[in-house]
Structure 1
Amino acid sequence: MPTKPYADSRLTRFLGKRILELRSIKSQAQVAAEAGFLNPSMLSMLKNGSAPLPIDRVPALATALDVDPRYLLQLALEQRLDATAMRTLEDILGTIVTRNEIVWLNELRDASGHTNPTLTARARSTLRSIFGK
């Protein structure tokens, strides 16, 4: 059994990036304490992929990292579930939509005059170009 079974997850990459972004504001130990981890090294274990994020720690860690808890939950679930289980969960509950995505969606609705526009090839190309794709 690998010692870091979650090392290649999107969650580990996200945590490493987000903790680095916060380093001028708070230490990793402070993040761990704010998230309610009794052992500060737990955050290191999450970052390096040797442990999965416990689902019950998602809300507190999201607050400590100042990130959307829905997005963090999605990443935590991806660690634990295979692709089929994730698709089943999304089929039942719907796609997890983050606060940032809701802002984009509201802007799209406002910009379109609430006309429910179809995504044309041109609109898709324009949108993808915003993100350098």
Structure 2
Amino acid sequence: MLVVLTKLHKKVPRRGKYSMKDDKIRPYSHTRVVKFLQKRMDEIKHRKSQYDIAMEAGYHKPNIISMMKNGDAKVPLEKVFILAKAFEVDPNILFRLALEQNFGQQDTYALTQMMNRTMTENELAWVEKIRAYTGDADPSLTQELESGLEKLLDNAERKTKTPA
């Protein structure tokens, strides 16, 4: 029988599979980066295995990818760029989610506020709304979306210029 050590170092027998919701066993399973990696792995599994991703990221064994994906291990900040390349995602998205996993949502928000100082408050509000609405999916600006956005902005501009 397999035995698991808890935080109090008591021996606890484990039967069958354990739940991902059990934060004592999988302490990072509740983080958004875990959900993001699980979803991404499902999207690319037909062309890349965890082994392939591990090798591309400089790991010798695929279990570390599994541990990150399941919430057993944190996504290391120093590996974000190479992991993003291996998972075929934008490194900025993975970095933001890894920061959140390492420092929490409030501290990450403060850090990203400081890093986004090239944007105005209004521009940042637009970007944050897009991120929230798409679930950090990073949609490309298609011709259709651009056309719709232009119409929306033209309409908003006319309303602000119309005398009351």
* Fold shared, TM-score > 0.5 on shorter chain: yes
Task: Give the corresponding residue for 1:9.
Answer: 31
1:104 partnered with 2:162: no
Return the structure number with greater helix share: 1
How many Å separate the matches in 2 of 1:7 and 1:23? 20
1:39 maps to amino acid: K
Give the unaligned 5+ runs of structure 1.
121-133
- Structure of higher CA gyration radius: 2
Q: Rate the CA distance shift 1:118–1:80 in 2: closer, same or farther, 3 A.
A: farther
Residue 104 of structure 1 aligns to a residue whose secondary structure is coil
Partner of 1:89: 111
Between the aligned partners of 1:72 and 1:40, the Cα distance in structure 2 is: 19
Q: Whole-Å Cα distance in 1 between the matches of residues 155 and 84 of structure 2?
A: 32
1:71 matched to 2:93: yes
Spell out, residue by residue over 1:6-40, the C-alpha distance to the aligned partner (whole angstroms, 9 max, x if none). Answer: 10111111111111211111111111111112332
Cα deviation digits, residues 25-73 of structure 1 (max 9, x gap): 1111111111112332100110111110001111111111111000010
Go from structure 1 to structure 2 and tell me whether the alpha carbon gap of 1:62 and 1:105 turns closer, same or farther (over 3 Å shift): same
Partner of 2:15: none
Unaligned ranges ≥5, structure 2: 1-6, 8-23, 117-123, 157-164
Q: Secondary structure at the match of 1:117?
A: helix
Larger RCO: 1 or 2 (CA < 8 Å, sep 6+):
1
CA 1:118/1:52 → structure 2, altered by over 3 Å: closer, same or farther?
farther
TM-score by length of 1: 0.72
Greater Cα offset, 13-22 or 86-95: 86-95
TM-score by length of 2: 0.59
User: Match for residue 78 of structure 2?
Assistant: 56
* CA pair 109-22 structure 1, distance change in 2 beyond 3 A: same
**Relative to 1, partners in 2 of residues 1:22 and 1:105: Cα closer, same or farther, differing over 3 Å?**
closer
Which stretch of the first structure deviates more once superposed, 84-93 or 50-59? 84-93
- The percent of aligned pairs where both chains have the same amino acid is 32
| Offset, 1:109 | 8.5
CA RMSD in angstroms comes to 3.1
| Deviation, structure 1 residue 3 | 2.8
The aligned residue for residue 67 of structure 2 is 45
